[in-house]
Amino acid sequence: MSGYDWGEFYCEMQSQQDQPHLTRITQRLNGLDISALRRRSRDAERELFNLGITFTVYTDREAIDRILPFDVIPRVLSKQDWATIETGVKQRVAALNLFLHDIYHDGHILKDGIIPEALVTGNKHYRPEMKGVDVPKGTYVHICGTDLVRDQKGTFCVLEDNGRCPSGVSYVLENRHLMMRAFPDLADGVPIADVDAYGSRLARAMSKVAPQNMSNPTIALLSPGIYNSAYFEHVFLAREMGVQLVEGRDLLVDDDRVFMRTTSGKQRVDVIYRRIDDAFLDPKAFRPDSQLGVPGMFEAYRKGNVNLANAVGTGVADDKAVYAYMPRIIRYYLDEDPILPNVPTNICGEEEGLKKTLDNLDELVSKPVGEAGGYGVVVGPRASKRELANLRSLIKADPGNYISQPMVGLSVSPTLIGRAIEPRHVDLRPFALTGEDTWVLPGGLTRVAMKRGSLIVNSSQGGGSKDTWVLV
Amino acid sequence: MFSLVSRFAANTFWLGRYLERVENVARILHINETYARDKPEGPDWQRVLDLYSDSERFHEAHEDASAQSVLQFYIRDRNNPSSIVSSIVNARENARSVRHLISTEMWTHLNIFYSQLLKMKAREILPSTLANTANDIILSCQTFEGIAEGTFLRGEPSCFYHLGKYIERADQTTRILDIGYALLPLGEGDAVTSVQWNVLLRSVSGYHAYRSRYPSGTRVEDIERFLLYDNEFPRALMLCVSRITDRVRDLEKRHGTERHSEVERTRRQLEFALETGPGNDLTPERLHAFLDRVQIHLGNVTNAVSQTYFG
């Protein structure tokens, strides 16, 4: 690791050298020559390919299997850091579930003016069909992926909540298996929290939210099918949970009950872990052109004859605009301060936020709240004068449609790049499971931006992943 | 315990069939090439096309049935649905759908096998190296079979897998015997006849098994009896049909006699056809007609299984 310079950023390994285990891991890495490290890295990637832990890119004639690049240097979280993340995520999930129940029932939070009603009921992920529907145990977000980043001071902040169909957990488990085969000596004597329980925990959470408190429900995982890029994960989870993996065409609804087509005829299904968006779930209730869904399933759900995880209509809670209100939502329902802060967010719909935004436009990242996929985002320090002027008039014309945030200098982690170890920016997505109560998988998915200086960790942009070790 | 989703029953059945098909296509290409060594005019590749009823489709894209073009057609042509590469692609797609029901080792092996085949270049497929190529393919299929035997849970999915495998194997054995009768001299006792029939036996890994059954020598009608009716040789038609019967009985136990009646009816017809046999005074035409009948009955069993369980 000689010559490794993490600059002004927080380094996941070097900034924590007061942790004896991290010192030990650093020493071990220093004791390896780079060729040995590269060999282990190549072996690991070949294994990923052979195991078919791939996402598939389809062209006209061929299916090309790609692996998510895997970096052999783990990201390590101290006991203290993990305690903060774990309690913070639990708090956030609790608030999200209370919020969703409220907005689909009496809407106290709207009446009390904590969050503008239009922001909620006018949101494209808000499902009026869910109004008055009671879901088992009041749990809407059974599986939650909270995207965290660490700023230059080392504080974890929430960047985004994923309360619809968060993906990536299969990589957490497979990365660990891979790491233990490729690099068993690195972890020698370092106590690391186990991740293997995820599948059984998930199955348990699903059975806790079965309709009518039934004790031995039939659970199925509903996938869009083998051409979905996350199909590997669906297979992986079905196997880890020991449940059936089905597609929409394997299910049918009869008398508002959901059944699987099996070799012995129709078999009742009680809980469905669905990896299909709301819009495609049921052509009778939502998009009529959906080929992936099951006609009549929503009615069966509304009547309480089947449960769906996550619940329908959770998208409203992980929206950018609602995100800005999350600290207030947490205070409103739990009467607690948020354990994990948001990235400071200026809400332009409010006078103070608007002023701060307009005064510092060239330093802030401004985002229209109604858009997805980074559309309309203006990064102040990188924008031209003209772009900023244009943005200024857009915000003034419709302040409620904008939020702004300071640039966050994401933490870095030592990463094997070619023949050197270099700092690369990382984020963290812990996974929380909620049936009756909430359990957080120790660790989570660490995504790493493989390009120098890049802050974009998405796999579609050349991002990779690392094994994430939680010290116990 | 849950029942098997119908679609997965179909996937495991076809996984078994496609892999068995790959192995046998490799065996048949191998035999055809090997026979030709003794013939001045070289191997007749048109026969292989006839055997699989692929002649019309082949000639749409190719002029002559040359060694090179037929080997490409059967090994790496993605446009030919009965090529080895197409079967492997299909086997893998089926396996992918039931990845949660098969073992990781089965999936990994199939995945490696698939990447190797896709990487194979046209110039690597030559009549002179066919023996090696075919043996590699056969070995990969056998490895898969061994992995399945050691790791595949013996539940309903494996039942459909074996059913598919033995139906395909029975079908392929009838085709191998058919090509033998069409290609080989039927003269009794002469050296050329023996050598060539021995090659056919070796191609189904049956040479030593046959020797131990019929130590007195190579006789065409003994070979026919051996490949059709032997109770212990794994690729003999009789043994395949008795394995089919075992699996059909397993399904009957699981699902009840009534649900199962059509499968059972077609199975009995298959068994009956086999018991009646090709008759005495065997001529190539009679044998061919008999083998055709068996293939039709195997198709009927497949249809019945499909209608009963895959719908």
**Bridge partners, residue A432, by sequence:** A144, A440
Query: CA–CA separation, A131 vs A433, rounded Å?
Result: 24
Which amino acid type is present at position A232? F
Does pLDDT of B1 surpass 60?
no
With CB atoms and an 8 Å threshold, state whether B3 touches A263.
yes
Q: Which helix (H) or strand (E) holds B223?
A: helix B220-229
| The dihedral sign for the CA sequence B137, B138, B140, B145 | positive
Query: CA–CA separation, B301 vs B307, rounded Å?
Result: 10
Same domain as A69, residue A27: yes
B163: in domain: yes
**C-alpha Rg value of chain A to the nearest Å:** 23
A108: in domain: no
B123: in domain: yes
**Bridge partners, residue A415, by sequence:** A422
With CB atoms and an 8 Å threshold, state whether A50 touches B96.
no
The answer for A 55-114 residues in CB contact with B (under 8 A) is 61
* A269 in reach of chain B (CB within 8 A): no
Query: CA–CA separation, A96 vs A107, rounded Å?
Result: 14
Q: How many domains does chain A have?
A: 2
| pLDDT of the residue at A198 | 97
| CA A20 and chain centroid, separation | 30
A386: in domain: yes
In chain A, residues with a C-beta closer than 8 Å to the C-beta of B156 are: 263
* A52 in reach of chain B (CB within 8 A): yes
B62: in domain: yes
Which domain does A173 fall in, by range? 14-81+165-191+427-470
Same domain as A452, residue A354: no
A366: in domain: yes
With CB atoms and an 8 Å threshold, state whether A231 touches B112.
no
Query: Three-state DSSP class for A125?
Result: coil
| pLDDT of the residue at A370 | 65
Q: How many domains does chain B have?
A: 1
B98: in domain: yes
| pLDDT of the residue at B282 | 74
φ/ψ of B99, rounded to 5, equals -60, -30
| pLDDT of the residue at B210 | 94
| Residue A225 near residue A280 (C-beta atoms within 8 A) | no
Listed residue (A394, A427, A169, A183) closest to A275, CA to CA:
A169
Does pLDDT of B36 surpass 70?
no
With CB atoms and an 8 Å threshold, state whether B255 touches A244.
no
In chain A, residues with a C-beta closer than 8 Å to the C-beta of B100 are: 235-236, 238-239, 245
Query: CA–CA separation, B64 vs A417, rounded Å?
Result: 53
Question: pLDDT tens digits for B87-118?
Answer: 999 999 999 999 989 999 999 999 999 999 98
* A43 in reach of chain B (CB within 8 A): no
Kindly report the CATH number assigned to the domain that includes residue A351: 3.30.1490.270
B198: in domain: yes
| Residue B73 near residue B82 (C-beta atoms within 8 A) | no
Question: pLDDT tens digits for B133-177?
Answer: 999 999 999 999 999 999 999 999 999 999 999 999 999 999 888
Same domain as A355, residue A393: yes
With CB atoms and an 8 Å threshold, state whether A264 touches B259.
yes
Same domain as A465, residue A351: no
Listed residue (A320, A438, A344) closest to A149, CA to CA:
A344
With CB atoms and an 8 Å threshold, state whether A262 touches B111.
no
Strands A420-429 and A412-417: antiparallel
Does pLDDT of B72 surpass 60?
yes
Token readout for A287 is 């998009």
* B209 in reach of chain A (CB within 8 A): no
Considering CB atoms only, which of B2, B156, B311 is closest to A244? B2
In chain B, residues with a C-beta closer than 8 Å to the C-beta of A245 are: 5, 100
| pLDDT of the residue at A381 | 87
C-alpha separations of A33 from A3, A18, A319, B90 in Å = 14, 25, 46, 44
How would you label A167-184 residue by residue, b for 16+ Cβ within 10 Å and e otherwise?
A: bbbbbbbbbbebbeebbe
User: pLDDT 10s digit of each residue in chain A, 472 long?
Assistant: 778 999 999 999 999 888 888 889 999 988 888 999 999 999 888 888 888 777 666 665 666 677 788 999 999 999 999 999 999 999 999 999 999 999 999 999 999 999 999 889 988 899 999 999 999 999 999 999 999 999 999 999 999 899 999 999 999 999 999 999 888 889 888 999 999 999 999 999 999 999 998 999 999 999 999 888 888 899 999 999 999 999 999 999 999 999 999 998 999 999 999 999 999 999 999 999 998 999 999 999 999 999 999 999 999 998 888 999 999 999 999 999 999 999 999 999 889 999 999 999 999 999 888 665 567 788 888 889 999 999 999 999 999 889 999 988 899 999 999 999 999 999 999 999 999 999 999 999 999 998 888 877 776 667 899 999 999 9
Does pLDDT of B249 surpass 80?
yes
| pLDDT of the residue at B182 | 76
| pLDDT of the residue at A114 | 96
Query: CA–CA separation, A294 vs A290, rounded Å?
Result: 9
Interface test with A, best of B11, B12, B89, B96 (most A CBs within 10 A): B96
The more confidently predicted of residues A394 and B194 is A394
Q: How does residue B280 score in pLDDT terms, banded at 50, 70 and 90?
A: confident
| pLDDT of the residue at A379 | 84
ipTM passes above 0.90 = no
Which domain does B162 fall in, by range? 6-310
B11: in domain: yes
| pLDDT of the residue at A363 | 93
Same domain as A68, residue A169: yes
| pLDDT of the residue at B194 | 76
In chain A, residues with a C-beta closer than 8 Å to the C-beta of B115 are: 49
A66: in domain: yes
| pLDDT of the residue at B188 | 62
| pLDDT of the residue at A61 | 62
Interface test with A, best of B5, B89, B106, B156 (most A CBs within 10 A): B5
Q: Is A128 exposed, middle or buried (0-12, 13-18, 19+ CB in 10 A)?
A: exposed
* A372 in reach of chain B (CB within 8 A): no
* A180 in reach of chain B (CB within 8 A): no
Length of chain B: 311
In chain B, residues with a C-beta closer than 8 Å to the C-beta of A263 are: 3-6, 9, 156, 251, 254-255, 309
Instruction: Identify the closest residue of chain A to B1 by CA–CA distance.
Output: A218
C-alpha separations of B290 from A27, B226, B272, B284 in Å = 75, 16, 12, 10
Query: CA–CA separation, A15 vs A155, rounded Å?
Result: 12
| The dihedral sign for the CA sequence A209, A210, A216, A220 | negative
